[in-house]
Amino acid sequence: MTTYPHLFRPITLGHLELPNRVLMGSMHTNLEEARHGFDRLAAFYAERARAGAAMIVTGGIAPNAEGAVFHGAANLVQSEQVADHRKVTEAVHAAGGHICMQILHAGRYAYSPALVAPSAIQAPINPMMPRALEAAEVEQQIEDYVRCARLASEAGYDGVEVMGSEGYLINQFICQRTNQRDDEWGGSFDNRIRFTVEIVKRIRAALPENFLVIFRLSMIDLVEEGSTFDEVVALGKAIEAAGADVINTGIGWHEARVPTIVTSVPRAAFSEVTRRMKAEVSVPLVTTNRINMPDTAEQLLADGYADMVSMARPFLADPEWVRKAAEGRDQEINTCIACNQACLDHTFQGKLTSCLVNPRACHETQLLIEPAEAVRRIAVVGGGPAGLAAAVTAAQRGHEVTLFERQAQLGGQFNYARRIPGKEEFDETVRYFQIMLEKYAVDVRLNSEPSVTELACFDEVVMSSGVRPRQLELPGSDHAKVVSYPEAIMHPQRVGKRVAIIGAGGIGFDVAEMLTHEGASTPSVEEWCDEWGVDLSVAAPGGLTPPVRPEVSRQVSVLQRKASKPGKGLGKTTGWVHRASLKHRGVELLPGCEYVAIDDDGLHIRIDGESRLLAVDTVVVCAGQESVRDGLEALQAAGVSVHVIGGADKAAELDAKRAINQGVRLAAVL
Ligand code: NAP
Ligand code: SF4
């Protein structure tokens, strides 16, 4: 008897019988364009199918060259390309899974000079202006979708997902915001949805009945002049009538200024829109966004929000998500913390997608965790992300591992991150590592700082002793009103009402966020929607409503010496959310500061040569870190084999992605 009876109840999609209700959602990995990328994609998807993902949807494949997300991105336009895709379908089928190919036409989001759209209206997130399609070209685009679906069938896919959300071409035809045509493809609602309905109808007519057609429907656009819910329902019904077998949920256009998947979005925040659609159509509905653990998924299905749940990033974080949930081992799930640091941030930088908590993601054929040839005694000194990753991986391989941590708890810098409002998911990573340490019998010694003599008894020593906060060097830096960021995070009651934060890196932003949150740190879905101006009933176009700004009792300024925009170095897909959130809270960002002194009056600075006093009660120092490598030289002198990783290796670019990656990769070869 499974703990999650709704999640593991079989479902019929079209002519397919699936053993559970988990759909692995579409993600572009950049393997689609890499050398031997399809071999690697085959291994990536097969690993997930083998562990029980019932249905997989591939990353978006364009139906023609102009529809590709960037110049040269993957398309499927001719028979010669089928062989590559067949590698993927054969691997997934051999692993007992099913896979559909997503057809994605980027329209005005295409990052290439040939971009086309219903009307020549530039997207705010693309420097290039699209060319408006002629009427005959619109017909050709539809035929290209059909050709792409035929080729997908030839390649052995079980079906296609037609990407109709996130602001891509189909969305651009549907909404007045982007469609100002006056022919049969624009103007009235019926004309604007004609493109979409024709695509579904013609794919259905061209492909055998047992070929699945999933449609990803934008249920809340989160942009001005987006659809109302009445329009979404009318479109859903039209798509069903046109022959779609399944409707998947899409949330928000890429140009929306409302976050939809970052870690501060509450779990399952948008599933309400799928629930509302349930009453309107009879094909199976899939809900999505910020679902990362089995209990959330189970609850949504039990409460009738949807027939299936879609998760994408959680399958990067843990390929065995489904198997672990099925076996009641959900505490062993390596949970996606929705940080975007190694997935979407990479994708948008043209790098291969991976995962902060699982560096093997998309590197399945290269980063192998195999049983060790000879068992060694390994000491890991420091239980932050780098040390935890190294200890667990080494123990998984069969080594005898002892983990020393000088603090009373494991987690290192994650113990600060997890206390930041909106970053509660970081708890899951610490929980995961703790469970894995137990499972692989790592000898964990807390409050422990081993001597050189003690460490010299091990075959290998991994030094992951982390960092210490950098201290200020200026008059008054020892004043009573100066606190370090660990102190501010662990004891916020020691921080006054008027605050200056020195340093505008990730931690400066985090501390500002924490100090401007009142009461409970985790907002309810309703509170979160109020702050960001989201109306889940989608009464107004796009589901937008005037935001309600949070009440803040602290006055906070964040300072940096550089003249550049504060927060510039934050993640590509998350930095804007952090900046917007601080703006909602009235936080002042001050670049170009010269720090002069701290005294009873406050913090004295100079900006553009002009002196200024910030009359603050507290100065929080978030000025980066320095490596801690105590005892390294003595160990080396004693001839001990030492490996330095994480912040101990390099404090300047310290982040958990690098730390975990380094820990896993080192332990994979020890
Ligand atoms: P950081 O990003 O390197 O920022 C340090 C800040 O301190 C900078 O604003 C720097 O700006 C300033 N600074 C450096 N030396 C200084 C000095 N001697 N005196 C005064 N100011 C000084 O480091 P962090 O904020 O501590 O974050 C550490 C790592 O954690 C980052 O690499 C980041 O990847 C990760 N992290 C990321 C996030 C996120 O993305 N949301 C959140 C938390 C942590 P100036 O030199 O211009 O003054
Ligand atoms: Fe999730 Fe972060 Fe991994 Fe992306 S990098 S899959 S958001 S944990």
User: Is residue 108 one of the residues assigned to a domain?
Assistant: yes
Domain that holds residue 510: 471-516+552-623
User: Is residue 528 one of the residues assigned to a domain?
Assistant: no
Give me ligand 2 centre to Cα 400, in Å.
29
| Domain match, 61 and 166 both | yes
What positions carry a catalytic annotation?
A: 168
How do strand 16-18 and strand 555-559 relate by DSSP bridges? Answer: unpaired
Residue 312 pLDDT exceeds 90: yes
Residue 148 is part of a domain; what is its CATH number? 3.20.20.70
Give me ligand 1 centre to Cα 611, in Å.
24
| Domain match, 489 and 456 both | no
Residue nearest to ligand 1 atom 6, measured at CA: 503
Nearest ligand to the C-alpha atom of residue 261:
2
User: Is residue 157 one of the residues assigned to a domain?
Assistant: yes
How do strand 16-18 and strand 593-599 relate by DSSP bridges? Answer: unpaired
| Domain match, 82 and 176 both | yes
Is residue 339 within 8 A of residue 356, CB to CB? The reply is yes
Burial 581-599 (b: 16+ CB within 10 A, else e): bbeebebebbbebebbebe
| Domain match, 293 and 382 both | no
Mutate which of 355, 358, 431, 660 for ligand 2 pocket (most atoms within 8 A of beta carbon):
355
Residue 313 CA: which ligand 2 atom is closest?
Answer: 6
Amino acid (one-letter) located at 658: R
Residue nearest to ligand 2 atom 1, measured at CA: 336
Ligand 1: lining residues by beta carbon, under 6 Å? 470, 472, 502-510, 560-562, 569-571, 578, 622-625, 653-655
Dihedrals phi, psi of 323, to nearest 5 degrees: -60, -45
Give me ligand 1 centre to Cα 472, in Å.
13
| Domain match, 460 and 507 both | no
Nearest ligand to the C-alpha atom of residue 343:
2
Indicate left, alpha or beta for 30 from its phi (over 0: left) and psi (-120 to 50: alpha).
Answer: left
Angle between helix 189-206 and helix 135-154 axes, rounded to 10 deg: 30
User: Is residue 665 one of the residues assigned to a domain?
Assistant: yes
Q: Alpha-carbon distance 461 to 644, whole Å?
A: 9
Residue nearest to ligand 1 atom 23, measured at CA: 624
Residue 518 pLDDT exceeds 80: no
| Domain match, 386 and 483 both | no
| Domain match, 663 and 603 both | no
Q: How many residues does the chain have?
A: 670
Look up residue 429 and give its DSSP letter: H
Nearest ligand to the C-alpha atom of residue 335:
2
| Domain match, 393 and 452 both | yes
Average pLDDT over residues 77-85: 97
| Domain match, 306 and 187 both | yes
Give me the sign of the Cα torsion angle 651, 656, 660, 662.
negative
Residue 624 CA: which ligand 1 atom is closest?
Answer: 26
User: Is residue 107 one of the residues assigned to a domain?
Assistant: yes
Ligand 2: lining residues by beta carbon, under 6 Å? 313, 316-317, 336-343, 355-357
Residue 335 CA: which ligand 2 atom is closest?
Answer: 8
DSSP for 337-367, written as a single string: ----TTTHHHHHTTSPP--SS-TTTT-TTTS
pLDDT at 627 (0 to 100): 95
Residue 421 is part of a domain; what is its CATH number? 3.40.50.720
Residue nearest to ligand 1 atom 39, measured at CA: 506
Average pLDDT over residues 478-496: 96
Amino acid (one-letter) located at 574: T
Provide the terminal-to-terminal Cα distance of the chain, rounded to the nearest Å: 40
Residue 498 is part of a domain; what is its CATH number? 3.50.50.60
Average pLDDT over residues 305-334: 98
Residue nearest to ligand 1 atom 3, measured at CA: 624
Give me ligand 1 centre to Cα 226, in Å.
38
Prediction pTM value: 0.96
Confidence of residue 519 (pLDDT cuts 50, 70, 90): low
User: Is residue 11 one of the residues assigned to a domain?
Assistant: no
Residue nearest to ligand 2 atom 8, measured at CA: 336
Domain total in the chain? 3
Q: Alpha-carbon distance 588 to 604, whole Å?
A: 16
Give me ligand 1 centre to Cα 463, in Å.
23
User: Is residue 391 one of the residues assigned to a domain?
Assistant: yes
- Which residues are 602's β-sheet partners? 599
The alpha carbon of 433 is separated from its chain's Cα centroid by a whole number of angstroms, namely 20
pLDDT at 1 (0 to 100): 66
| Domain match, 440 and 487 both | no
- Which residues are 443's β-sheet partners? 402
Give me ligand 2 centre to Cα 339, in Å.
5
Angle between helix 229-242 and helix 189-206 axes, rounded to 10 deg: 30
| Domain match, 310 and 391 both | no
Give me ligand 1 centre to Cα 475, in Å.
21
* Degrees, nearest 5: CA angle 614-615-617: 115
User: Is residue 182 one of the residues assigned to a domain?
Assistant: yes
Residue 39 pLDDT exceeds 70: yes
* Degrees, nearest 5: CA angle 222-225-227: 70
Confidence of residue 520 (pLDDT cuts 50, 70, 90): low
| Domain match, 338 and 483 both | no
The 10s digit of each residue's pLDDT in 161-211 is 999 999 999 999 999 999 999 999 999 999 999 999 999 999 999 999 999
